[in-house]
Amino acid sequence: MSDGQSLWILLPTGQRASGEWIDDTLHSRAEEQGLLDRLTQVATFPRQRVEVVRGPKAEAGVNEMFYRRGWTDGLPIVAPTMARVDAMLRAGGRPRNMVLGEAEPLKGLVTVEKVATNAVMAGCEDAHMPFVLAAAEALLEPEFNLRGVQTTDENVTPLLMLSGPAAKAMHMNSRFGALGPGWRANAAIGRAVRLIMHNLGGGWPAAVAFAGLGQPGRYTLCLAEDEAFNPWESLREELGFAVDDNVLVVQRAESVVNVTGGLNDLATVMASATSAFSRLHGGTVAVVLAPYVAKLLADEGKSKADVKTYLHENSQAPAAEFEKSWLPARLAGQTNFPRWVNEGVKAGWVPAVETPDDITVIVAGGDIPIPQCAYMPTWGFPACRIAKKIYLPQGWDPSPET
Amino acid sequence: MLRASAAAEAAGIPSSSLVCDGFLGQGATTAVGLGLPNLPMAKVPGHVDTQTDNELRHNVTSVTVEAVIENLTSAPPAAVMIPEPGPQDVVMDGSFEEINRFFYENGWSDGLPIVPPTRAKIESFLAFTDLPADHVIGKIPPDNRQATVWNVAINGVMAGCRPQYMPVLVALAEAMADPGYGVEHSGNTPGAETLITINGPIIKDLEFNYEQGALRDGFQANTSIGRWWRLYLRNVAGFLLHQNDKGTFGNTWRVVLAENEDVLAKINWPPHAADFGHARGDNVVTISRFTGGDVIASVFGQKPEDMLPYLADALISQTGWQLIFTVGLADGSYTPLLVLSPILAETIAKAGWSKDMVRQWLFENARIPASKFEQYIAEFTNLYSGGRSIFELTQLGKANALYGLSKDPNRLVPIVCDPLDIQIAVSGDPGRTNAQVFSHNGILGFPTARAIRLPNDWNNKLAGAE
């Protein structure tokens, strides 16, 4: 058979250090949950690194097969051929067998090659690879609590915020529709992270991941901080990096709440039950300020620290309201709320987070005189704001292939 | 060193193995081979040998201790069988190039082209053994796959062997499976390589090179059987680089060393296999793992007394840290190999020296100062810690009595515990006065011999072979 009819593909799924494939565990879970009528080929793949798919419709065949094996997010994937993965690996600049860690909860080894395989599937350009690697490393940091994120009944998902000049160079959107569709970097890097969680950690919805509803951010939740519209020091500088650095900041986001309004409206939303989990565990939340709002605040002479302090001081819920809200009422006497929450209850007011610094603020969005902001509450323990400096390999070229 | 933990767990005693950072992957794969894939391990960050006491203390208290407590107080989860392709499955259908790419990319090949192991080719190998294809030779750690006649043949085809080499391959698989050899150590960091030696009329039957260039590639039997050894370690034992083969440098396979039995007969020296209880004329393979060695060029002299000092010196110069296998780890398991070219063996024998006399002389003269010995096993390497002298170890019953005859640090002590620990073989260019010394890996690849069983009607089958 001619090579044109053969796809040499790398398997994206997780293998433990002991050699076990996570699919064998997932098969049991999927069977218990009645998922095998849809995922008809779970754990039926050949137990090897590379598989050859033949025939005139090989790419379509790979797509259908991967879906039935449970290896996708439901959308078509790009077949991870050896040539595509090799190109991705070259762009990543790291050795393919390097092990970054074990992805919870099923402990598939996160090797650079597996990361590249999932990045190809997600539709990443080669130039995205250093960012996907950094995101994968962030997921593996203990404070990310990947096990919790993957298995909780809450809808939490990783939030990726890129601060640095590379964002513009590779067309990562930070303006109109930055949290929406249309830009490959936002779409594919976030999707690669989800596929890594899915295929290496085994966070299959309804089999291992029991988030009640999930959220659209579980396909991708990735945006850039806008360099030009940000009137203050950048997020990376705030976190101690140099202005020339590219830094990926990863947090846990329970959802994205749109707030068309100014700081006061944001604080009102933050004061509500949306902040239930930062009050339960402590934690780091994120606020996206519209360029218009940021400019008004800066023109008033407010610093980013002022903004954070304002939001902290004005996101306080009355103690009575907090106590009768669902979580505290439900968990009364069963769990220990953080000390700052208990003190807030005594004082009559409970803020959304412990300190102003627990609020990450970036500027992004369209350049229109409308205050379209967003609040991203968090879930889980411990507090998490992971900053990964990106090391771009020599020759990194973000210009798309022609 | 997970085997002690595995024994403890098997006896129902909780264990926790301390494993340095870079070895966690190897630990996990080794644990599978031990039948306890979830053997609890506690990470020690970095490598202990390069850390100060303070760094080590900090690493252990901040990371390791917590894992040890967790390991000792919770039950490891149950083992799961890892599915693999079945032994009879056709895994790939395609061109020669495609098969080769497929095998290579899946880690089943060493980087050189393999001969695709088709059913017909495998069958042609099976014709050269009377054992059934599904005969189980043993289990090979660390992956603990079964060594079968079938997978011996598959790897034989892949390695470029001829079908008639099959009896040799089966004997080698049997030797590999012998616990006395210690195949499970094959992925250790010194990365030593096995040398296969062969004796018997089969040397000529299969046209092994036993003369000039005996250790060089170039003869199919010597080369392809050496390659088979590594492929079998890869595909059946499961040693893979960047996983559980942690050889720091390693080296490629050694070709099979065949002895020059014509010369042995002429000088009336026993074959190498006689050291392991086999008679002259027996077909035997012997495996032994050697860390390195060197050619000993131009051994000058007309009589043994002129030549042996150089050979004794060569044994000394090619032996360093390996002395830990003489005293310290598995005492008395250091068995270096001296290969003499025929002209050297004949010159020595002509003076009336038997092989055992040569060994006795070398044993008495290949000696080093006790202080030097102690440097190799302790000061330089920390392989034996605690600061005791070899004299003191003898007093404690932890070293051969030979090392406790005096306290004088300048006294000369032998490098092996027994004259018979010096292996001698005769091969190479019949007319050149060179020798070769192999330094040995002790119990981590102890000499192990197996008789080669020929199939019925061997001679006819051989005559019919291509």
Nearest to B82 among A6, A20, A82 (CB): A20
DSSP characters over A318-374: EHHHHHHSHHHHHHTTTS---HHHHHHHHHTEE-SSSSGGGEEEEE-S-SSSS-EEE
- Nearest chain A residue to B22 by CA: give it: A99
Evaluate if residue A2 carries a pLDDT over 50.
no
What is the tally of structural domains in chain A? 1
Evaluate if residue B460 carries a pLDDT over 70.
yes
pLDDT tens digits, residue range A193-252?
999 999 999 999 999 999 999 999 999 999 999 999 999 999 999 999 999 999 999 999
Nearest to A49 among B28, B85, B105 (CB): B105
Evaluate if residue B114 carries a pLDDT over 70.
yes
- Nearest chain B residue to A48 by CA: give it: B106
> Lowest mean pLDDT: which of B14-23, B265-274, B442-451?
B14-23
Q: How far is B85 from chain A (nearest CA, A)?
A: 7
CA distances from B97 to A85, B227, B228 (A): 20, 20, 20
Contacts of B85 in chain A (CB under 8 A): 46-48
Say yes or no for a CB contact (<8 Å) between A18 and B107: no
* Residue A309: inside a domain: yes
When the pLDDT of each residue in chain B is averaged and rounded to a whole number, the result is 93
Domain range annotation of chain B: 3-73
pLDDT tens digits, residue range B332-371?
999 999 999 999 999 999 999 999 999 999 999 999 999 9
Q: Where are the beta strands (DSSP E) in B283-336?
A: 284-296
Q: Which of A120, A152, A115 is nearest to A135 (CA)?
A: A115
Confidence (pLDDT) at B76: 65
Contacts of B105 in chain A (CB under 8 A): 8, 49-50, 82
> Lowest mean pLDDT: which of A17-26, B10-19, B32-41?
B32-41
Say yes or no for a CB contact (<8 Å) between B28 and A46: no
Residues in Cβ contact with A362 at an 8 Å cutoff, skipping those fewer than 6 apart: A161, A163, A225, A226, A230, A235, A286, A287, A288, A289
Q: How far is A400 from chain B (nearest CA, A)?
A: 29
Say yes or no for a CB contact (<8 Å) between A47 and B24: no
Q: Which of B171, B144, B313 is nearest to B228 (CA)?
A: B171
CA distances from B231 to A256, B100, B143, B159, B226 (A): 55, 14, 14, 7, 9
The Cα B444–Cα B182 span in angstroms is 6
Contacts of A55 in chain B (CB under 8 A): none
Question: 3-state DSSP call for residue A249?
Answer: strand
Nearest to A97 among B80, B95, B242 (CB): B242
Say yes or no for a CB contact (<8 Å) between B105 and A8: yes
The Cα A238–Cα B174 span in angstroms is 65
Q: Do residues A401 and A301 lie in contact, with contact meaning Cβ atoms separated by under 8 Å?
A: no
Q: Do residues A157 and A92 lie in contact, with contact meaning Cβ atoms separated by under 8 Å?
A: no
Confidence (pLDDT) at A335: 83
pLDDT tens digits, residue range B120-176?
999 999 999 999 999 999 999 998 999 999 999 999 999 999 999 999 999 999 999
In this complex, is the C-beta atom of B26 within 8 Å of any C-beta atom belonging to chain A? no
In this complex, is the C-beta atom of B332 within 8 Å of any C-beta atom belonging to chain A? no
Evaluate if residue B434 carries a pLDDT over 80.
yes
* Residue A378: inside a domain: yes
pLDDT tens digits, residue range B285-341?
999 999 999 999 999 999 999 999 999 999 999 999 999 999 998 889 999 999 999
List, in sequence order, every residue forming a beta bridge with B193; answer none if it has no partner.
Answer: B290
pLDDT confidence bin for B25, thresholds 50/70/90 = low
Q: How far is B16 from chain A (nearest CA, A)?
A: 17
Regarding beta strands B367-369 and B412-414, do their DSSP bridges make them parallel or antiparallel, or are they unpaired? antiparallel
List, in sequence order, every residue forming a beta bridge with A162; answer none if it has no partner.
Answer: A224, A248
CA distances from B194 to B183, B185, B258 (A): 10, 11, 14
The Cα B238–Cα B230 span in angstroms is 10
pLDDT confidence bin for B77, thresholds 50/70/90 = low
Contacts of B82 in chain A (CB under 8 A): 18-21, 24, 47
Is pTM beyond 0.90 here?
Answer: no
pLDDT tens digits, residue range A147-203?
999 999 999 999 999 999 999 999 999 999 999 999 999 999 999 999 999 999 999
Nearest to B85 among A18, A20, A47 (CB): A47
Complex prediction ipTM: 0.82
pLDDT confidence bin for A1, thresholds 50/70/90 = very low
Regarding beta strands A157-163 and A99-103, do their DSSP bridges make them parallel or antiparallel, or are they unpaired? unpaired
Evaluate if residue B200 carries a pLDDT over 80.
yes
Which residue in A2, A24, A26, A48 has the most chain B C-beta atoms within 10 A of its own C-beta, making it the best mutation to test that interface?
A48
* Residue A77: inside a domain: yes
The DSSP 8-state label assigned to residue B19 in this structure reads E
The Cα A36–Cα A39 span in angstroms is 5
Contacts of A97 in chain B (CB under 8 A): 242
* Residue A394: inside a domain: no
DSSP characters over B416-446: SSSGGGSEEEE-S-TT---EEEEEE-GGGG-
* Residue A298: inside a domain: yes
Q: What is the mean pLDDT of residues A87-105?
A: 96
Domain with A65 in it: 3-316+351-389
The Cα A78–Cα A123 span in angstroms is 6
Say yes or no for a CB contact (<8 Å) between B25 and A82: no
